Chain A
Amino acid sequence: MLELDQFRHVYFQECEELLGSLEIQLMALQEGAEADDVIQEAFRAIHSIKGGAGALQFRRIGAFAHNFEALFDKIRSGKTALNPDLLILSLTAFDMLADLIAAEQCGSEIKPGSEDHISEALKEATGNQGESAGEDRAAAGMAASGTSKPVAPVLYRIAFRPSPDSLKRGNEPLYLIRALKALGNLTVTVDQDGLPPLDEIDPQAVYLAWNFELETVAGPDAVSEIFEFVEDDSDLAITTPNGAEIFDDGQSGVSDEASDDGESPENGQAGETKAKLQGAVKSLENSNPDTKETSGRHFGATSVRVDLDRVDRLVNMVGELVIAYSTVLQHVDDRLRLTHPQLAHELTQFLQHTQSLQDSVMAIRAQPVRTIFARMPRLVRDLAEQTGKRVRLKTKGESTEIDKTVIEKLSDPLVHMIRNAIDHGIEPLEERQALGKPPEGTVTLSAEQVGGRIVIRVSDDGHGIDRERVRQVAVEKNLIAPDTNLSDEEIENLIFLPGFSTAQALSDISGRGVGMDIVYQNIQKLGGRVSIRSEPGRGSTVTLTLPLTLAVMEGMIVRSGDYVYVIPLANIIQSLSPRPEEIGTLPDAGMVLRFRDEYVKLVDLNDAFGTDCGAANDNQLIIVVEADAGRAIGIVVEEILGQEQVVIKSLDENFSHIRGIAGATIMGDGKVALILDVTVIGKLGNKRLNASTAREPGETKLQELCA
Chain B
Amino acid sequence: MTRRVLAVDDSPTIRSMMDVILTEAGYEVLSAENGRDGLGLLDVFSFDLIITDLNMHVMGGLSFIRHIRELKRYESVPVLVVTTEGSEEIKELGRSYGATGWITKPFEPEKFLGAVNRVCPIEEPKAESG
Contact = CB atoms under 8 A, between A and B. Distances in A.
Co-complex (A, B): yes
Interface in A424-460: none
Given A170-B78, A190-B130, A7 B17 contact: yes
Contact of B36 (A11, A143, A295): A295
B121 A175 contact: yes
B60 A11 contact: no
A293 B62 contact: no
B125 A174 contact: yes
A168 B98 CA distance: 9
A418 B11 CA distance: 34
Contact of A55 (B59, B107, B114): B107
Q: Contact size class for B? A: 35 or more
Given A280-B90, A288-B63, A55 B96 contact: no
A226 interface: yes
A251 to B, nearest CB: 14
Q: Tell me if A's interface is mostly helix, strand, loop or mixed.
A: helix
Contact of A48 (B11, B106, B128): B11
Contacts of B99: 169
A289 B59 CA distance: 7
Contacts of B32: 299, 302
B37 A55 contact: no
B89 A276 contact: yes
A143 B55 contact: no
B16 interface: yes
Interface in B1-34: 10-14, 16-17, 20-21, 24, 32-33
Interface in A546-604: none
Contacts of B96: 256
Contacts of B92: 256, 259-260, 277
Contacts, number: 168
B128 A178 contact: yes
Interface string B94-130: 0110111110011111000011011111000100101
A411 B75 CA distance: 51
Contacts of A277: 89, 92-93
Interface string B71-94: 000011111000011110110110
A168 B109 CA distance: 27
A54 interface: yes
Nearest to A255: B96
Contacts of B11: 14, 48, 51-52
A297 B21 contact: no
Interface residues of A, number: 66
A641 to B, nearest CB: 48
Interface string A272-306: 01001100110011011111010101110010010
Contacts of B86: 138
A10 B12 contact: yes
B36 A290 contact: yes
Contacts of B114: 179, 225
A47 B55 contact: yes
Nearest to A140: B106
Contacts of A55: 13-14, 17, 105-107
A212 B22 CA distance: 30
A299 B37 contact: yes
B105 to A, nearest CB: 6
Contacts of B117: 175, 179
A287 B76 contact: no
Interface string A132-151: 00000011110101000000
Contacts of A10: 12-13, 16
Contacts of B62: 281, 284-285, 288
User: 6 smallest A-B Cβ distances: which pairs?
Assistant: A299-B40, A54-B106, A170-B78, A229-B101, A141-B106, A288-B60
28 contacts: A2-B20, A7-B20, A10-B12, A48-B10, A48-B11, A51-B105, A52-B14, A55-B106, A57-B106, A138-B85, A140-B106, A143-B85, A170-B79, A171-B119, A172-B78, A204-B76, A229-B100, A256-B96, A259-B92, A280-B89, A284-B55, A284-B93, A285-B60, A288-B56, A289-B58, A290-B35, A290-B36, A299-B36
